[in-house]
Structure 1
Amino acid sequence: MLNIALSGCNGRMGHVITDIVAGRDNMQIVAGFDINTAKYADFPIFSDPFEFQGSCDVIIDFSNASSTEHLLSYCEQHHTPLIICTTGHSPEQLQKIRAASAAFPVFRSGNMSIGINLMSELLRKSAAVLGDQYDVEIIEKHHNQKLDAPSGTALMLADAVASALPYPAEYVYDRHERREKRPAHEIGISAIRGGTIVGEHSVLFCGRDEIIEIKHTALSREVFATGAVDAAVFMAGCKQPGMYDMNDVIASHAQ
């Protein structure tokens, strides 16, 4: 039996993950961590992970970037693998996450969808072929309650493109003060917030007389929850400290 602790259990994604786990065999949520401790399922909820006196095989975190450092301390003390699904971390927080992975296994991805991670690979291949002959623009759309902009997924896709371009790319988030033609070595990133959009990401390679668009649309939060639970299965069997991501999960499926 895979025992999971769920950080951010009373959020939207926490409830979806709870439903996903309930529908699978050989796994269960044994504790939830959330500032809102209202109980809605058959596991206890704690406002502080250190209040939990039981044990778990892995922690899934869909809470807030401000909670990450406290979770890192808990996982280091208990040697528990941590799956960080939360986005919006500062560079200093990301450095602390990388440093913590020397002591215990840490999984982090800008997006938990397998489709998005396959899209990242397509973008790397496209950028390698198209090179500096095409301008790259990224448009991301999310619901009006999302806090961070641009999304962690948009940055993840930009990084995938940039890693294969023949030049160091500059990420540009706002052009309204730029009174100049578009420089060649930009990656433009635009964020849209409205309604109940779950998540939509488009990457455009704009060349002379043609546009190539690679797009992913999430129709429900379940795609992210499923990826997080799949990551939990992978990480529960991972005993070596280090940084892991969805590419490792995809590789394990291919074996």
Structure 2
Amino acid sequence: MIKIFIFGITGKMGKLILNFIKLNKKIIIIGGVNRKNIFLIKKYNFIFNSISKKGVFIDFSSPIIIKKILFLSRYYNIALVIGTTGFNINELLFIKYFSIFIKLIISYNTSVGINIINFFIKKINFFLYKYNFNSIIIDIHHNKKKDSPSGTALIFYHKLKKININILYSRIKKIIGNHILYFISNYEIIKIEHFVLNKNIFIIGILYSIIWIIKKNFGLYSMQDVFF
């Protein structure tokens, strides 16, 4: 059985993970903290030692504590799955550096559907450029989402190389997540849309990540590695 510890356990995603993993016989939650009590972490030393090399940290907390989490992951040799968004460039560089010493997955979106779209974009990007398509990315989320544009929209942006791209975003009450991609030429329009019906789709991706990362070597991985 894989033991996990959750950073951000009292947040929306943390609570979803708690409820969902109760139904899974391969994974057990042994503890968690929120960002307010991260600095009381010493009392968890015994737990961290007990899952060294065979447990997983899950992070759905805040960018302001990512350095602390990375240091803990390295010190106790515990794999790390990061679902937090809103990192700045320095924090991302810090994450990349620590992947030399730990098993690490970072993903702004753990849903199967979004990662299928990412895989598809990699395949068609050359042809979009060759045949003079431009792109518009529309990013719609609930009005409590902190980062705009979303991490998912930024992933699309960085994967669509060499073509002109505009990102439009809106925050609307109760919309879990809706991403629309338009590829536009002078003669036609291609449209791809992903709409989240239930947040449990993100937890399913997390479960895949936990089981997958345990067997890997140190390094930086994405959900593309997990699913494909």
Q: In the alignment, is the contact (CA less than 8 A) between 1:121 and 1:160 conserved in 2?
A: no
Q: What is the CA distance between 1:47 and its match in structure 2?
A: 5.9
The residue aligned with 2:222 is 245
Q: In the alignment, is the contact (CA less than 8 A) between 1:49 and 1:74 conserved in 2?
A: no
Q: What is the CA distance between 1:243 and its match in structure 2?
A: 0.4
The residue aligned with 2:81 is 83
Q: What is the CA distance between 1:36 and its match in structure 2?
A: 5.8
The one-letter code sitting in structure 2 at the alignment partner of 1:187 is I
Q: In the alignment, is the contact (CA less than 8 A) between 2:35 and 2:62 conserved in 1?
A: no
Q: In the alignment, is the contact (CA less than 8 A) between 1:3 and 1:28 conserved in 2?
A: yes
**What 5-or-longer segments of structure 1 have no aligned partner?**
38-45, 168-184
Does residue 160 of the first structure (1) align with residue 138 of the second (2)? Answer: no
Q: What is the CA distance between 1:218 and its match in structure 2?
A: 0.9
The one-letter code sitting in structure 1 at the alignment partner of 2:154 is L
- 1:186-213: CA deviation from partner (whole Å, max 9, x where unpaired): 2101111010111111111011132101
Q: What is the CA distance between 1:110 and its match in structure 2?
A: 2.0
Q: In the alignment, is the contact (CA less than 8 A) between 2:96 and 2:220 conserved in 1?
A: yes
Q: Cα 1:245–1:145, aligned 2, differ >3 Å: closer, same or farther? A: same
**% identical equivalent positions:** 29
**Within 2, Cα distance between the matches of 1:118 and 1:160?**
13
Task: Note the 1:1-255 alignment, pairs <5 A.
Answer: 1-35=1-35, 48-52=40-44, 53-54=46-47, 55-56=50-51, 57-131=55-129, 133-162=132-161, 167=162, 185-238=163-216, 240-251=217-228
The one-letter code sitting in structure 1 at the alignment partner of 2:145 is K
SS in 2 for 1:189: strand
**What 5-or-longer segments of structure 2 have no aligned partner?**
none
**Within 1, Cα distance between the matches of 2:215 and 2:145?**
32
Relative to the length of structure 2, the TM-score reads: 0.92
**Within 1, Cα distance between the matches of 2:215 and 2:31?**
20
Aligned length: 221
Higher alpha-carbon Rg: 1
Q: Cα 1:50–1:228, aligned 2, differ >3 Å: closer, same or farther? A: farther
The one-letter code sitting in structure 1 at the alignment partner of 2:71 is S
Q: What is the CA distance between 1:19 and its match in structure 2?
A: 1.4
SS in 2 for 1:212: strand
Q: Cα 1:82–1:49, aligned 2, differ >3 Å: closer, same or farther? A: farther
**Within 1, Cα distance between the matches of 2:166 and 2:35?**
36
SS in 1 for 2:105: strand
Relative to the length of structure 1, the TM-score reads: 0.82
Q: What value does the CA root-mean-square deviation take over the aligned residues? A: 1.5
Q: What is the CA distance between 1:114 and its match in structure 2?
A: 1.6
